[in-house]
């Protein structure tokens, strides 16, 4: 419940003198919040203190006063105010998080860690979010902070670890926790082996540990020999995580050892490929043609051509849109249509 909604509800239960006092407190709170937005911390502090004079036991006002004090440089004073607030309302998770941050500014690692652990348990934030908070940057290596994740990005990879046989499909599945909104970039230092890319699926969802992505690159074994993919560099925003290489052996029957399909294996993600495209559209990039459509649309190719690489974006395992990637070497269609139910959304000739 927001402060204004809470105070409005309280106002409905107050007598006239109490109502006038509450209105006075609300006006000072609004003025203080506006001053904070304008960067005038001193004026904000004056208003919050006047509001607390009217309602000295209001925990929310105490938290705002503490914030203004900290922004004015009185960190110790802000902690003292939050001591009062948390004494009255121990479950005020955001206030406890702020007290942890102020203690961290003073170098009090044990105190900051104790408050931070409780604040996370009470739902103020996720442990991974703390890693991006500059207040705690100087304490992240401290033993008292060992309960926090070690990296903003947590990446695990699932892939074949023994042998894969000619004609079979293999998958590299990357699970990423903590990614920022927008495309995740995955780069492999090397990709060697008789493989051809078939499809890429990217599923974005929320989890108890933070934003979660699962990206699956599916490939077909097209020959025999060692396969090495990686090491990988996974980046989201300013954060980068390094992942060890994937290695396994591709096997083939006699006469099939040499790969007869030579498509470069790229670990481009679905949002990288199609995130900026509009649905029911197409674009060219070098010798490739990309066609985007919403899940459920139908794509009609004239004439039919070799199956393209399919990039599909899902949210919570529910398909949202697809991009088809055609190779000029494998052959472009002469024309294509995107149809939704009975409506033709795109009817276009393809450049030869």
pLDDT of 202 = 97
Whether residue 153 contacts residue 236, with contact meaning beta carbons closer than 8 Å, is answered with: yes
Residue 82 confidence class, pLDDT cut points 50, 70, 90: very high
pLDDT tens by residue, 85-97: 999 999 999 999 9
Please report the domains of the chain, with CATH numbers, ordered by start residue.
3-145 (1.25.40.10), 151-273 (2.60.40.10), 277-352 (2.60.40)
**pTM higher than 0.85:** no
- Is it the case that residue 185 has pLDDT exceeding 80? yes
Q: How many residues are given for the chain?
A: 352
pLDDT of 18 = 58
Q: Give the three-state DSSP class for 231.
A: coil
- Is it the case that residue 179 has pLDDT exceeding 80? yes
What is the arithmetic mean of pLDDT over 172-193?
Answer: 93
Count the neighbouring beta carbons within 10 Å of the beta carbon of residue 205.
13
Task: Tell which wins on pLDDT, 151 or 310.
Answer: 310
Task: Tell which wins on pLDDT, 255 or 226.
Answer: 226
What is the arithmetic mean of pLDDT over 164-184?
Answer: 93
> What is the C-alpha separation between 280 and 109, in angstroms, rounded?
54
Whether residue 315 contacts residue 204, with contact meaning beta carbons closer than 8 Å, is answered with: yes
- Is it the case that residue 8 has pLDDT exceeding 90? no
> How does strand 309-315 pair with strand 318-327?
antiparallel
User: DSSP assignment of 2-64, as one string?
Assistant: -HHHHHHHHHTTS-HHHHHHHHHHHHHHHHHHHHHHTT-HHHHHHHHHHHHHHSTT-HHHHHH
pLDDT of 262 = 53
What is the arithmetic mean of pLDDT over 51-71?
Answer: 83
Residue 199's DSSP bridge partners are: 218, 310
Torsion angle in degrees (nearest 10) through CA of 54, 55, 61, 63:
120
- Is it the case that residue 10 has pLDDT exceeding 70? no
Residue 284's DSSP bridge partners are: 289
Whether residue 284 contacts residue 327, with contact meaning beta carbons closer than 8 Å, is answered with: no
Whether residue 193 contacts residue 247, with contact meaning beta carbons closer than 8 Å, is answered with: no
- Report percent pLDDT > 70 for the chain: 91
pLDDT of 261 = 56
């Amino acid at each position: 419940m927001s402060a204004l909604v809470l105070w409005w509800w309280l106002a409905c239960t107050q007598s006239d003198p109490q109502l006038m006092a509450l209105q006075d407190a609300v006006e000072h709170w609004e003025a203080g919040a506006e001053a904070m937005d304008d960067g005038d911390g001193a004026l904000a502090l004056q208003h919050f203190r006047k509001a607390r004079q009217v309602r000295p036991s209001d925990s929310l006002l105490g938290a705002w006063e503490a914030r203004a004090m900290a922004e004015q440089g009185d960190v110790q004073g802000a902690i003292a105010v939050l001591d009062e607030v948390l004494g009255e309302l121990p479950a005020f998770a955001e206030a406890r998080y702020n007290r942890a941050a102020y203690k961290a500014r003073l170098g009090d690692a044990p105190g900051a860690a104790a408050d931070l652990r409780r604040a996370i348990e009470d739902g103020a934030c996720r442990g991974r979010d703390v890693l991006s908070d500059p207040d705690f940057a100087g304490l992240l290596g401290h033993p008292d902070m060992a309960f926090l994740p070690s990296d903003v990005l947590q990446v695990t990879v699932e892939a074949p670890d023994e042998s894969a046989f000619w004609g079979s499909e293999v998958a590299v599945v990357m699970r990423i926790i903590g990614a920022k909104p927008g495309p995740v970039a995955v780069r492999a230092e090397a990709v060697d082996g008789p493989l051809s890319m078939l499809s890429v699926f990217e599923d974005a969802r929320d989890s108890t540990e933070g934003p979660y992505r699962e990206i699956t690159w599916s490939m077909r074994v097209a020959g025999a020999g060692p396969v090495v993919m990686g090491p990988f560099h996974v980046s989201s925003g300013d954060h980068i995580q390094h992942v060890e290489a994937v290695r396994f052996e591709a096997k083939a029957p006699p006469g099939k050892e040499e790969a007869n399909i030579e498509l470069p294996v790229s670990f481009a993600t679905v949002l990288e490929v199609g995130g900026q495209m509009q649905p029911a559209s197409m674009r060219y990039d070098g010798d490739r043609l990309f066609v985007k459509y919403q899940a459920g649309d139908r794509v009609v190719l004239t004439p039919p051509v070799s199956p393209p690489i399919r990039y599909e974006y899902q949210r919570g395992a529910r398909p949202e849109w697809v991009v088809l990637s055609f190779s000029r070497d494998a052959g472009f269609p002469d024309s294509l249509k995107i149809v939704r139910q009975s409506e033709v959304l795109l009817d276009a000739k393809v450049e030869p």
